[in-house]
Structure 1
Amino acid sequence: MQMEERLSGNENAEGGGENSVQQQQQLTEPLNCNGHLDRGDEAGDSCNRKFKKRAPLVGVFVILITIIIVLAGVKFSGCPDPPVAAHCCPDGWVGYGGKCYYFSEAEGTWNNSQSNCSSFGASLAAIDTPQEMAFIKRHKGLSEHWIGLRREPGQPWKWTNGTEFNRWFEVRAQGECAYLNDDAVTSSWCDTVRYWICSKPAGRTA
Structure 2
Amino acid sequence: MSDSDCCSCHEKWVGYRCNCYFISSEEKTWNESRHFCASQKSSLLQLQNRDEQDFMSSSQHFYWIGLSYSEEHTAWLWENGSALSQDLLSIIEIQKGKCAIY
Q: Tell me if TM exceeds 0.5.
A: yes
CA offset digits 1:149-194 (Å, max 9, x no partner): 11123711111111122222124557110001xxxxxxxxxxxxxx
Tell me the equivalent position of 2:43.
123
Aligned-partner SS, 1:134: helix
Separation in structure 2 between the aligned mates of residue 92 and residue 116 of structure 1, nearest angstrom: 15
- Matching residue within 73, 77, 94 for 2:14: 94
| Aligned position for 1:203 | none
Q: TM-score, normalised by structure 1?
A: 0.42
| Superposition map of 1:100-119 within 5 A | 100-119=20-39
- Tell me the alpha carbon deviations over residues 9-53 of structure 1, each in whole angstroms, 9 at most, x when there is no partner: xxxxxxxxxxxxxxxxxxxxxxxxxxxxxxxxxxxxxxxxxxxxx
- Name the larger-Rg structure: 1
CA distance in 2, matches of 1:172, 1:99: 23
Matches of residues 15-26 of structure 1 in structure 2 within 5 Å?
Answer: none
- SS of 1:100 mapped into structure 2: strand
Determine if contact 2:49/2:88 at 8 Å carries over to the other structure. Answer: no
Listed as ranges, the gaps of 5+ residues in structure 2 are 1-5
| Separation in 1, partners of 2:65, 2:49 | 14
Q: Which residue is 1:147 aligned to?
A: 65
Paired positions, count? 94
More helix by share: 1
Cα distance, 1:100 vs structure 2: 0.6
Structure 1 runs of 4+ with >6 Å offset: none
Structure 2 counterpart of 1:157, one-letter code: W
Higher relative contact order (CA 8 A, sep 6+): 1
Counterpart of 1:123 in 2: which secondary structure? coil
Alignment gaps of 5+ in structure 1: 1-85, 181-206
TM-score (norm 2): 0.79
